[in-house]
Structure 1
Amino acid sequence: MTQAKEGGASIRLLLVDDHQLVRDGLKARLGDLDDIVVLGEAANAEDALAAAERLQPDLALVDVGLPGMNGIELTSAFAASFPALRVLILSMYDSRGYVQSAMRAGARGYVLKDAPSAEIIAAIRAVAAGGVYLSSALTAALSGPPVESSLLTEREKEVLILIAQGASNKRVAQKLDVSVRTVETHRLNLRRKLGIETAAGLANYAIKRGWIEE
């Protein structure tokens, strides 16, 4: 755990990523800075919530792809339990759907994992200061039209509806006469296009569009 350096006030940071290598790399880079202190780290949402309660950080740097409760769901949980805690999403996904879902959940920024370290640091400082930060690489994704169902293929829509109705991957594969791996690929595409990871989220999406009944 990084200790505070002498001098001015520091940004008290919680790192949340399920990859130890990523956390170690971030701690090594941020450890050279006078204005950012890594208070703690977590590999999953449950540990992150416990750490936030214990450490009371100013900002959480959160990966989207956490096991169990994902980073967007964790952001919502942070907003409910720790309204003063600012969240900056650090993600490998550059889709409009993910960005919109994260910001709706309460994130104050979204930066890509492959961004230069200087940009990640700038994002931390901007969000900690009360601003909003979106990675410069997201400009193209956010300047286009909203993601809508017209961007889904017919098969993706079929998969979405079946999952929304409670079907497992195996059952979807049987219904559509495809392999389970194919269904998993369609589910990955749905996540990338819509920024929705859970079956409940897909059900809500389908209900709003009249594809299934509530």
Structure 2
Amino acid sequence: MSTDSPVRIVVVDDHPLMREGLRALVASLPDIEVVGEAGDGEAARREVQLTRPDVVVMDLHMPGTDGVTATRAILQTTPSTRVLVLTMFEDDESVFAAMRAGASGYLVKGAQQDEIIQALRSVAAGHAVFGPSVARRIIDFFTGTAQTLLTADLFPELTPRELEVLDLIAAGKSNAAIARQLVINTKTVSNHISAIFAKLQVADRAEAIVRARQAGLGNST
């Protein structure tokens, strides 16, 4: 990107008011322009192919193709484009899924306008940008116990939430017990377990427990 050219952005959000708000935010800025918008991840992928923006402002939870999947697809086909996540969600699973997909920045909706503008400029310039609450989560993760880091290295394909579920499976917890401990419903637990089996390429719970315990999991109470 030329230093004399404005930062060209595509806004991806399933709420029209949010897209309009971002357009209005940068309308008076000479160094940032909106060149496209989309309401879901698949439309975002097509829009990026057409416009080749410098930055995509990406929501995560949308109908159809979600923001994490869209981010991964966009960066595979248009690696020069940067992705700045702007979402309501700041849980570990969302943050680390976005980072694994290749996002260069992560802000939570409600961020100050100046913070969003500065993040757009910084991400376009090649920097990584994270809002204060998100940065705290990242610091907490990387300053965690050696076991936590080791486990993340052993199972890089799993999300942080899936690692939690696998740890509890290895500890012998039932789906109902896992749901109570993580304060989620049993259907969500079942979905996480199905994803774990697929990612680890194991046939059943017993095989997953063996893999997990070999990695040192299963000590949760």
If the length of structure 2 is used for normalisation, what is the TM-score? 0.68
Separation in 2, partners of 1:9, 1:156:
56
Q: How does 1:44-193 map to 2 (within 5 A)?
A: 44-144=40-140, 145=144, 147=160, 148-149=163-164, 158=175, 182-183=185-186, 186=188
Separation in 2, partners of 1:50, 1:157:
43
CA displacement 1:37-64 (0-9 Å, x = unmatched)? 0001000122111111111111101001
Residue number in structure 1 paired with 2:22 = 26
Instruction: Give how far 1:80 is off.
Output: 1.1
Q: 3-state DSSP class of the match of 1:139?
A: helix
Q: Which amino acid aligns with 1:39?
A: V
CA displacement 1:117-168 (0-9 Å, x = unmatched)? 1111111110000111111222332232354427977799727x9xxxxxxx
Q: 3-state DSSP class of the match of 1:114?
A: coil
Contact 2:42 2:64 (C-alpha < 8 Å) held by counterparts: no
Which of 189, 205, 211 is matched with 2:208 structurally? 211
Name the structure, 1 or 2, with higher relative contact order (CA <8 Å, separation 6+).
Answer: 1
Identity %: 33
Separation in 1, partners of 2:196, 2:30:
41
Q: Give the stretch that moved more between structures: 69-78 or 131-140.
A: 131-140
Q: Which amino acid aligns with 1:23?
A: R
Q: Which amino acid aligns with 1:60?
A: V
Residue number in structure 2 paired with 1:168 = none
Give the root-mean-square deviation of aligned CA atoms: 3.6
Q: Which runs of 4+ in 1 moved over 6 A?
A: 150-157
Contact 1:206 1:212 (C-alpha < 8 Å) held by counterparts: no
Residue number in structure 2 paired with 1:17 = 13
Contact 1:88 1:108 (C-alpha < 8 Å) held by counterparts: yes
Q: Which amino acid aligns with 1:120?
A: I
Q: Which structure 1 residue ranges, 5 or more long, are not aligned? A: 1-7, 162-175
Separation in 2, partners of 1:37, 1:104:
27
> Residue 157 and residue 24 in structure 1: after superposition, are their counterparts in 2 closer, same or farther (change >3 A)?
farther
